[in-house]
Amino acid sequence: MQAFWDINDQFTLTSGIFFYDATIDQRGDFYSSVTQNQRRMVDARSYDPSIAVGPAGSATLADLGLTIPVGTPVSALLGAQPGGVTLFSAKEGCQTANAGPTCSRNFSAENSLEALKLENAGRNDNLLIGLWQGDDGTNSALNVINGPNTIGTDLLYATQTEREAFAAYSQGVWTLSESFALTMGIRFARDEVTAEENVWRYVEDFDTGQFLARIITDDFIQPIKTVTTNALYQYNAANGGFQMDENDNIVLDAHGQPIPTDLVVNGGIPFAVSAYRPFERTDEKVTGRINLDWDINDDVLLYFSVTSGFRSGGYNLAFFSNTADYDPEELVAYEIGYKTRFMNETLQINGSFYLYDYDNIHTVASEVTQLGDVSTSVLEAAGAEIYGIETEALWLATDHWTLGGNISFTPSEYTADLLVLDPARSDTPRSLFPSQNDNRYNIDGNQLLQVPELKFTTYSTYSFPLEGGAALDLSGVYSWTDEVYFSPFENDREKAEAYGRLDLRATWTNPARNVIVTGFVNNVLDDIAVLQVLRHGEGEHFRQTAGVTSPRLWGMELTYLMGAY
């Protein structure tokens, strides 16, 4: 809602208030394509109490950072729920009268996984472990809400973000003289965010094969020995993982090894986990603007402005990222610009010189999640600067021919230290360099993400008047974009090369101007550009995936106007 005030001939005021209320749900269901002969993800599993972890030292559930005592039966995995767990089991466990501190909102944001590990203080995601019950389609809790009935699900997630925003602002324009006008504005913004993330997944883990043990006594230290436990062997034998003969004996191959079936598991004992983290935050900020316009003459205007900007903080949802939240983004923008008209007002040239000085800037980076995967998260860089030179021109060359274009040069860099974990860097794999310090890189001085240094666009339109009032319009647009990086590390493997694009269009309009026929060719040069690069870590062999632009595309459009035009 806005109010416009003409106080007098020299002063005007615009004031307003703004309300925003939104709820965003994000849901996912990853399931396997299975048949009757591939039941590993579908069938419930049997957990014989005699199958236990051991026999020496202890076993570590690497992905979850948990240590299991020697001799723990797999049927009692850390107090696992015998009926299994589903997507919202961990959340439901927090909705009790005696819910623990990890159930409180923002506990996960205030206590990172690394910090809790150092203090041996547990986890921050209310993790529940359940025996694997399979997914044969009969349990609706293993389907995405309002989604299809799937079987063989191995990963579910659900996030929700509720945002309520309010802003009040006022801006006044004071005409100092015929040549000068001063604009000043102020804005108060308040954002309230309530969010949560839930995940459920199938896991095969526990060290149940060979591992190293060192026996220490009062008299001597024995050398490291390899100790073998047959818990995984027993598990597969009890669950149809090996071929059996008519006498229920395991069938061996020529090397004396069991012959596996489609039900075999080799990554460890299967189980399911459910995790839940709730959040809430309120961000408030007062920003302002001051601008001076100088009308040098009727055809030339110069302006000088300083503006502060603000974007509220938020949460890294769905990935259960180690960095759960991020604070608001703030900047101060300085700009000097001009607006001009020449050649009897048929040529217009506008431009500006600007500096964006970020005190805190949101930066997309990779980090390791609580579940051992690599997540894409928003992190905070303490400072960044963007310098810009931009100009645009529009020329009405004739009554029927229009030419135009724009160009911008925008160098940028991070201006403060930020050590970012890079688990997707193949020359320091985490299996060989487990210390995070070996995988962290300082991005100070690097180019900002997805900010090309140079861009330009040119376009032209020519209109042919036809008999009876019909018209034929021909137009073309050519644009060019410089290379950009999709990680803060400025690695060439995560860079999109520069590319150009030419689009052509022809439009015929009938004399009555209610029928429009258009033919077009987009990306005439068939130059395919990279729009996004996704980086993957050692678990996915450091592969990279990308989104690209569409290839050459041509087509026809027909428009009929039924009524006023």
Residue 297 has a pLDDT of 94
- DSSP state, 147? S
3-state secondary structure 55-96: CCCCEEECCCCEEECCCCEHHHHHHCECCCCCCCHHHHHHCC
Residue 29 or residue 13, greater confidence: 13
Residue 382 or residue 60, greater confidence: 382
> Is the pLDDT at 366 greater than 60, yes or no?
yes
- Whether residue 312 is contained in a domain is answered as no
Residue 144 has a pLDDT of 79
Helix/strand/coil for 231: helix
Q: 41: closest CA among 120, 172, 135?
A: 135
Place of tokens 């060019």: 480
First to last CA, the chain: 30
Q: 489: closest CA among 440, 531, 561?
A: 440
> Is the pLDDT at 89 greater than 70, yes or no?
yes
| Span 214-262, pLDDT tens digits | 333 444 444 444 444 577 888 888 888 899 999 888 999 988 888 998 8
Residue 223 has a pLDDT of 46
User: Could you list the residue range(s) of the whole structural domain that residue 260 is in?
Assistant: 26-160+199-273
What percent of the residues of the chain are helix, what percent strand, and what percent coil, each to the nearest 5?
10, 50, 40
Whether the CB-CB separation of 308 and 288 falls below 8 Å is answered with yes
| Span 170-209, pLDDT tens digits | 999 999 999 999 999 999 999 999 999 999 998 887 655 4
Q: Which of 364-378, 404-418, 550-564 is predicted least confidently? A: 364-378
Mean of all residue pLDDT scores within the chain: 86
With bands split at pLDDT 50, 70 and 90, how would you rate the model's confidence at 479?
very high
Phi, psi of 180 (to 5 degrees): -125, 140
- DSSP state, 539? G
| Span 469-478, pLDDT tens digits | 999 999 999 9
With bands split at pLDDT 50, 70 and 90, how would you rate the model's confidence at 373?
low
Residue 375 has a pLDDT of 67
Q: Which of 280-289, 355-364, 372-381 is predicted least confidently? A: 372-381
- 209 forms beta bridges with none
- Whether residue 342 is contained in a domain is answered as no
With bands split at pLDDT 50, 70 and 90, how would you rate the model's confidence at 352?
very high
Per-residue CA distances from 63 to 196, 372, 374, 382, 436 (Å) = 22, 5, 12, 31, 16
| Span 45-75, pLDDT tens digits | 888 777 766 544 445 555 555 556 656 676 7
Percent of the chain with pLDDT strictly greater than 70: 86
Whether the CB-CB separation of 454 and 482 falls below 8 Å is answered with yes
- Whether residue 255 is contained in a domain is answered as yes
> Is the pLDDT at 532 greater than 70, yes or no?
yes
Domains: count for the chain: 1
Place of tokens 């990680």: 487
Residue 203 or residue 210, greater confidence: 203
Residue 301 has a pLDDT of 97
Residue 331 has a pLDDT of 94
- Could you tell me the two tokens for 546? 């990308």
3-state secondary structure 448-491: CCCCCCEEEEEEEEEEEECHHHCEEEEEEEEEEECCEECCCCCC
Whether the CB-CB separation of 460 and 476 falls below 8 Å is answered with yes
- Whether residue 246 is contained in a domain is answered as yes
Residue 216 has a pLDDT of 39
- Whether residue 308 is contained in a domain is answered as no
- Whether residue 193 is contained in a domain is answered as no
The long-range contacts involving 78-84, CB below 8 angstroms and separated by at least 24 positions, are 78/129, 79/129, 80/129, 80/130, 80/131, 80/271, 81/128, 81/129, 81/130, 81/131, 82/130, 82/131, 83/130, 83/133, 84/130, 84/131, 84/132, 84/133, 84/272
pTM, two decimal places: 0.76
Residue 221 has a pLDDT of 45
Q: 389: closest CA among 339, 355, 349?
A: 355
Handedness of CA 329, 391, 550, 542 (dihedral sign): negative
Whether the CB-CB separation of 77 and 129 falls below 8 Å is answered with yes
Residue 77 has a pLDDT of 63
When mean pLDDT is compared over 90-99, 109-118, 157-166, the highest value belongs to: 157-166
| Span 410-454, pLDDT tens digits | 999 999 988 887 777 788 787 787 665 666 788 999 999 889 999
- On the CB side of 124, how many CA atoms lie within 13 Å of its CA? 25
Percent of the chain with pLDDT strictly greater than 90: 51
Per-residue CA distances from 245 to 234, 239, 470 (Å) = 17, 15, 85
> Is the pLDDT at 369 greater than 50, yes or no?
yes
Question: How many Cβ atoms sit within 10 Å of the Cβ of residue 440?
Answer: 14
Tell me the residue type at 515. Answer: V
- Whether residue 114 is contained in a domain is answered as yes
Q: Which of 21-25, 210-214, 358-362, 495-499 is predicted least confidently? A: 210-214
- Whether residue 8 is contained in a domain is answered as no
Residue 57 has a pLDDT of 43
